[in-house]
Structure 1
Amino acid sequence: MTDDLTFGIEEEFFIVDSEGHLSQSGDTVVDSASEGEGELQHELTRSQVESATGICSTHDEALKQLRGLRTELAEAAAQRGCRLLPCGSPPVAELGLPHITPNPRYERMAEHFGATARTSHTCGCHVHIAIPDRETGVRLITRIRPWLPALLTLTANSAISDGFDTGYSSWRYQQWTRWPSTGPPPEFTSLDHYESIVDAWLRAGAILDRKMVYWDVRLSEAQPTVEFRFSDVAATPEDAVLLGVLIRGLVTTILDDEKPASGLSNEVLRAHLWRASRDGLSGRCPHPRTGDLAPTTEVVGDVVDFAAAALDSTGDLDFVRDGCARLFAEGSGADRQRTRFAELESPEDVVDLLVVRG
């Protein structure tokens, strides 16, 4: 059932001007970008853009597509005197609120959710993993929950926001979870249980449509996939693909293992995710098996070991181990942001560090 699961990766970016402030050119950047492999899309605000790979089978495919998509967007942005910024939250403080993209759905969201829509200004990375059916997807979501905090640390990339060091590696995660349908999913007993919560949210007006189910892991409404939505946009394509193939390896391992759910409550899992978003890769993280704090690098190493057989079967094991070794040595996006900011306390320098060179 789980042999050679395909995957895809979506990335959200900010469009910033030469000084690092948010630009309102995102929609025109998307519309003018050259068409290559994958897809470019508008986002909620006009200072954001989104890209999506096609269906991938190997890490080389995904890496090639992500690099190409970033280059297309960066070149289109440069034509407007702007830059493409892969960062979970805007490093430079803004005086005004972002402009909503002129789209009926986005405008309705902004009106209905008010400041939540206009101030939760974040960019994430979404990983899609193919599943045979929605019932399998719900079983997977229930059993993969304890592993989410460790995964969150890998691409933490929003330490500097609004001109200061937030004290978090993934400040985006804290901002994002203000939406009423975000956060870790519960332990579902069935697909009907999943659907009953979505229906209740719709009836309460906590979501306007099924695309607004924003759990950290959800069933995709558009694709036959489970979608992982907890991550900051990665600082580099290599970091994003590392996350994607490690998630695929975990999915394969968990579905083939068929062990029962962990019994981990959402109250405890929220605490684990909070700790992971604060400490990131350079601190301590609750271990997915025990809940005890351990150095994050050790926890991530244990996650890789747990999925090693599945990663090896798809040719990803060396790529993942090399990628983790690189991150442990160089630091995550958040670590690199914090180091650069400490030198001059300049959020503009953080932007210069991260922007994609077309």
Structure 2
Amino acid sequence: MSEVDVTALPIPRSGSGTALTIGVEEEFLLVDEVTGELVPLGPQVLSGPPDRGLDLQPEMTQYQVESATAVCRTASEVREQLLAARAALARRAAAHGARLVASGAPVLGGEHPPPLTDHPRYRRIMERYGALVDGLTICGCHVHVGIPSPSEGLVISNHLRRWLPVLLALSANSPFHEGRDTGYASWRHVVWNPWPSAGPPPWFDSVEDYRLATHLLRTSGAALDDGMVYWDVRLSANHPTVELRVCDVAATVEEAVVLAALVRAIAATALSGEAAPRVSDRLLRVALWQAARHGPEGAAVDPLSGVPVPFAEEVGGLLRWCGAALDAAGDTELVVEGVARLLRDGGGAARQRKAYRRRGEFTDVVELLTTRT
């Protein structure tokens, strides 16, 4: 783990950020309360009267459920809504002998192919993409940032490309997969990559450029519809937002809040007028692989140069770059302390491995995850 103290990194105190709204979607696994293995109880957990003020949704497999915040203006609002949604889902799961788990991939396994939620669209995806569906029992955290127009969204997307590896590493929370240590910090990222519409987004010169790219995905069959544009950053098909999709589901609410605040600061800085660097697709994929492999515990690859650098140096550069926007939103202390805590205590993947090493029992990992969730 790096010994660099990120709290000592200089952060600009001048300038202003754009007051952008944010929202967060979180995907979760359902496991048996005794064995810790996946259980296909999504439909049962979501049955019954809705929880007032909460948006709880099914996912593609019955092993999963999802929550979505409303439009939020502050990190405190995001925290309150995530806490309420996780608590509600945990209560519902407990009523059916299950527990809620915030992990990017299942520690203990389930069926292949996974049981799908009963919906015509999901059946079409199974028919079209075959065994790729076997890997869909994975969970991400999606951060939405409100945008004035699609063109501003693409400015943000172009800037986010440079920082995708840092954001993936910070969130990496899936070292185990069905009873095996994968050797990666984010196995979810690796499993997701074979989808033809997944991966880092292209650089876009215009809204028309974006529309042509998504049209190609649909007409070629790489995506059924706009909802299957699975890039790590995309314009939302249903909301006036740009959506970051590269992150594993965060192990804790506080880590999810830090990610949301950091993404908003990147977006606000992107709209300040500075041109985004035109990151090479090849270097970006290498940097993302490195982030998925090691998380915040290993070296990072600078996607601008391809040179390995200490992760604390890379994330420190991000905090300096968007520091004025963090300060304007009142999020500097939250984000800087959150990043410092990850560097000091380890990310989600490191904590999962630490729990396993105590006795060599995967059930200890599941216990840690359900407690932290």
Matching residue of 1:202:
218
Matching residue of 1:29:
45
CA-to-aligned-CA distance 1:86-140 (integer Å, 9 cap, x gap): 0000011335432000011111111211111133321000000011000111122
Matching residue of 1:343:
358
Counterpart Cα distance in 2 of 1:92 and 1:160: 8
Q: 1:15 touches 1:48 (CA, 8 Å); kept in 2? A: yes
Which residue identity does 2:283 align to in structure 1? V
CA-to-aligned-CA distance 1:7-34 (integer Å, 9 cap, x gap): 0000000011121111111122122375
Q: Does 1:315 align with 2:330?
A: yes
Counterpart Cα distance in 1 of 2:131 and 2:37: 20
Which residue identity does 2:217 align to in structure 1? W
Counterpart Cα distance in 2 of 1:36 and 1:70: 14
Which residue identity does 2:47 align to in structure 1? D
Q: 2:105 touches 2:174 (CA, 8 Å); kept in 1? A: yes
Q: 1:36 touches 1:69 (CA, 8 Å); kept in 2? A: no
Q: Indicate which of 245, 258, 269 corresponds to 1:229.
A: 245
Deviates more, 1:82-91 or 1:341-350: 341-350
Percent identity among equivalent residues? 44
Matching residue of 2:30:
15
Q: Indicate which of 62, 72, 96 corresponds to 2:78.
A: 62
Q: 1:33 touches 1:76 (CA, 8 Å); kept in 2? A: no
The alignment yields a C-alpha RMSD, in angstroms, of 1.6
CA-to-aligned-CA distance 1:149-173 (integer Å, 9 cap, x gap): 0111111100111212111100100
Partner of 1:161, secondary structure, is coil
Q: 2:56 touches 2:68 (CA, 8 Å); kept in 1? A: yes
CA-to-aligned-CA distance 1:62-96 (integer Å, 9 cap, x gap): 00110110000000000000000100000113354
Matching residue of 1:324:
339
Counterpart Cα distance in 1 of 2:189 and 2:225: 22
Matching residue of 2:283:
268
TM-score with structure 2 setting the length: 0.92
Matching residue of 1:148:
164
Q: Does 1:353 align with 2:368?
A: yes
Alignment of 1:130-149 (within 5 A): 130-149=146-165
Q: Does 1:254 align with 2:270?
A: yes
CA-to-aligned-CA distance 1:176-196 (integer Å, 9 cap, x gap): 112110000111121111111
Counterpart Cα distance in 2 of 1:337 and 1:32: 33
Counterpart Cα distance in 2 of 1:127 and 1:250: 12
* Moved >6 Å (runs of 4+): none
Which residue identity does 2:326 align to in structure 1? L
Partner of 2:271, secondary structure, is helix
CA-to-aligned-CA distance 1:279-307 (integer Å, 9 cap, x gap): 10111112355442122122212211211
Q: 1:37 touches 1:68 (CA, 8 Å); kept in 2? A: no
Which residue identity does 2:352 align to in structure 1? Q
Partner of 1:69, secondary structure, is helix
- How many residues get paired? 357
Q: 2:112 touches 2:134 (CA, 8 Å); kept in 1? A: no
**Which runs of 5 or more residues in structure 1 are unaligned?**
none
**Which runs of 5 or more residues in structure 2 are unaligned?**
1-15
Matching residue of 2:308:
293
